[in-house]
Chain A
Amino acid sequence: MDYVAELEKDVRFQEAMHSCLNCGICSAICPAAEFYNYDPRMIVTTVHRRNNDEIEQLLRSNTIWYCGQCMSCKTRCPRGNAAGMVIQALRLLSQKCGFFTESEKGRQQYGLKKTIGESILKYGYCVHPILVKPELHPEQGVIWEWVIQNRDAVYDRLGANLYKEGAGAMRKIHQKNLDELDEIFKVTGGHDFYNVIEEESKKKAQEMNMSTDENNNEYLLHVLTYNSNEHQD
């Protein structure tokens, strides 16, 4: 596949990828670069060389998944580039090609699809307390477990109208609106995109000997909680 040609079709790539003078201002401001073994400037330079093999390597790597999409790079670049937007284009291509399952950070796309991705269609919220399962989010700690166990009482006390008809925060979203969302996903290719993530991830799960059953999704638990700790210097 001609990855360069694919990237050039992406409007974000067209808008955010001019010439790079390699000044490093994007990496200097980048919070992810401070944390991970990561340098957004190097991504831009690699793409700038328009070498198909190098780009494929990027698409299969952890590198493009370190970015937190804060777009600080865009605020600083003296040439009007935005490394964060170039990365968006690379990520989409990696997802389309199924390369995302080849890296630890890329595999987390499955976790995002299963949580935020499905939540928006099912509840009309990207993040909904009912779906933030304690076992998938150990970082939330024991307090979150307690909140979930006492969900109705806690949310009533906070003045929310959790998953009930009528007005108020966290209210149930009307089926008519959910149907509309579903339609948007149909028309824009959102569903197809989800299917690619699902299929590619299932292939990888099989390869890794993990189940993806609804009731015992080992692979989901793995991608969301495993850390090889190989991402920092």
Chain B
Amino acid sequence: MIDVLIIGGGIAGLETACSLQDLGYETVIVEKEKTIGGHLNDWDTLFPTHRPASEVLEHYTEETRKRALTIYLNTYVISVKKQADGLFEVQTSRDVVFHCKSVVLASGYQLFNAERKEEYGYKIYDNVLTSADLEKRLKNLQGEFTTPTGVSPKRIAFIHCVGSRDEKSGNHYCSKLCCVTAVKQAIHMKQICPQADVFCCYMDLRMYGPGFEEMYREAQEKYHVQFIRGRLSEVAENANGSLQLKVEDTLAARPSRLQVDMLVLMVGMETAKSTELFAQSCGLECASNRFVKTKDHHIGSNQTNVDGIFTAGASIGPLSVFDTVNHAKSAAFAVNDYLKAMK
């Protein structure tokens, strides 16, 4: 009998698994992708330190290897059934049925599909990227940075709140990490293209974590990133492939047009499709933002409405790496309490 089955092999799942293994429980991770690490695989550097994401990934790869964790890759969960005896039967795509005492949902998030904001021109105009595209571009960068049309950019704009705080996208909530990611990426662009003017079009800057506000200040003072308070209304392409943005500088109360060579859309976080399906299959309650609803916002953020099913990481809402690792550690303690009471 497995003690804990963990759904998702990103950092939330890995951290929970390592902690639970250390507490003496038998854990199994199922991961739908062919590799562990989740979204971290796609990221170049992390805020606010600008360290390579690969460092964190390497840490977890090493910890996983040391503990010889059982991980089923290319495996996704089809259904979770809680039986009369309180144990769980988990059906997966592998024709393996797992029986376990508890389940940790660490299935994370997915990024907002920027094509849904058609007026921003993603996949219509070549020089419109998402924040995730830019990370990949930076990660694989060799030589000089150029825009997708091969231009060395003179003007770059970052657009905050794409698919967040937006009734039109069906996402009322704030994804909270896009602001700080934009500031990090803006600094990065100034470092590799010092000649470029970099703009951030924001509504409110949510620099909530340690080191975030300092990074914002550095972006302004050291790198001269320009912050324009206003939401982009639409984008048009010029004949030469550069872009024309319509945005109001609300602090100056002046509608304006901004010409840029490259536009970066800061896409928000949504609940993962797989999380939604999983929640439906086992009667997990979701909040109005479609992320999994925790049992108690303040003192039970790892518990759900189903006893024995726990959450770790961004399945409960947008979380940073910092938040995720902490939430995953506390998930291990919550599971430990539950299993101890079971004996």
Contacts and interface: CB of A to CB of B under 8 A. Distances in A.
Contact of B230 (A23, A42, A78): A23
A80 B180 CA distance: 26
Interface string B194-230: 0000000001100000000000000000000000011
A34 interface: yes
B248 A25 contact: yes
Interface string B156-190: 00000100011110000000000000000000000
B233 A25 contact: yes
Contacts of B255: 24, 27-28, 30, 33-34, 39
B248 A78 contact: no
Interface string B247-268: 1111001010000000000000
Given A24-B250, A39-B253, A41-B248, A29 B234 contact: yes
Size class of the B contact interface (CB-based, 8 Å): 20 to 34
B334 to A, nearest CB: 36
Contacts of B230: 23-25, 28
B290 interface: no
B167 A28 contact: no
Interface residues of A, number: 20
A41 B234 contact: no
Contacts of B234: 28-29
B232 interface: yes
A231 B203 CA distance: 28
B231 interface: yes
A28 to B, nearest CB: 4
A44 to B, nearest CB: 12
A23 B203 contact: yes
A78 B167 contact: yes
Contact of B167 (A33, A42, A79): A79
A22 to B, nearest CB: 6
Given A23-B230, A78-B166, A78-B168, A28 B253 contact: no
Interface in A136-179: none
Contacts of B253: 39, 41-42
Contacts of B295: none
B246 interface: yes
Given A33-B255, A39-B253, A78-B231, A24 B165 contact: no
Interface string A56-95: 0000000000000000000011111000000000000000
A23 B251 CA distance: 10
A127 interface: no
Interface string A32-50: 0110000101100000000
A76 B168 contact: yes
Contacts of B166: 78
Looking at B161, B167, B249, which has the most chain A CB atoms within 10 Å of its CB?
B167
Interface in B137-172: 161, 165-168
Interface of A: 21-30, 33-34, 39, 41-42, 76-80
Interface of B: 119, 161, 165-168, 203-204, 229-234, 246-250, 253, 255
27 contacts: A21-B165, A22-B250, A23-B203, A23-B230, A23-B231, A23-B250, A24-B230, A24-B231, A24-B248, A25-B231, A25-B248, A27-B248, A27-B250, A28-B231, A28-B232, A29-B234, A30-B255, A33-B255, A34-B255, A39-B255, A41-B248, A76-B119, A76-B233, A77-B167, A77-B168, A78-B161, A78-B168
Shortest 7 CB-CB contacts between residues of A and residues of B: A24-B248, A23-B231, A28-B233, A29-B233, A24-B250, A24-B230, A78-B166
